[in-house]
Amino acid sequence: MIYRSSVRRGGSVSDSSSERLLAVVDALDALAREQTPVEAAESMDPAVLQAFWREWPHTSVWAGNLWRALNRDLEVPAGARDDREVDEVGGSG
């Protein structure tokens, strides 16, 4: 589960988009934990399922592209920071 409290509160478009994405991911994750895909297909409103069927390919491509962009950024391990003006060693009272 993703916690919305980790997103900084503000009013910018970026924050709003971040919160909306987290809300959608949380809701989909909760649904996936509550029902199997077969159970969902059997119990959900047919109009909702049709909308999902129609919209999911576009949504899936967008989400996949976002994930791949993040993966490229995050797959490289963080390196040591080499900025002596920022580094503090402490001990000088």
Render each residue's pLDDT in the chain as its tens digit; 93 residues: 554 444 445 555 567 999 999 999 999 999 999 999 999 999 999 999 999 999 999 999 999 999 999 999 888 777 777 666 666 666 665
List all residues 6 or more positions away from 49 whose beta carbon is below 8 Å from its beta carbon: 41
Give the pLDDT score at 29. 97
Query: Is the distance from CB of 45 to CB of 21 less than 8 angstroms?
Result: no
Predicted local confidence at residue 93, as pLDDT = 55
| AA identity, residue 41 | A
Question: Cα 43–47–50 angle (5° rounding)?
Answer: 95
Which pLDDT does position 80 carry in this prediction?
A: 72
Cβ burial of 6 (10 Å; 0-12, 13-18, 19+) is exposed
pTM of this prediction exceeds 0.75: no
Rg of the chain taking only CA atoms, in angstroms: 21
What integer pLDDT is reported at residue 89 of this predicted model? 64
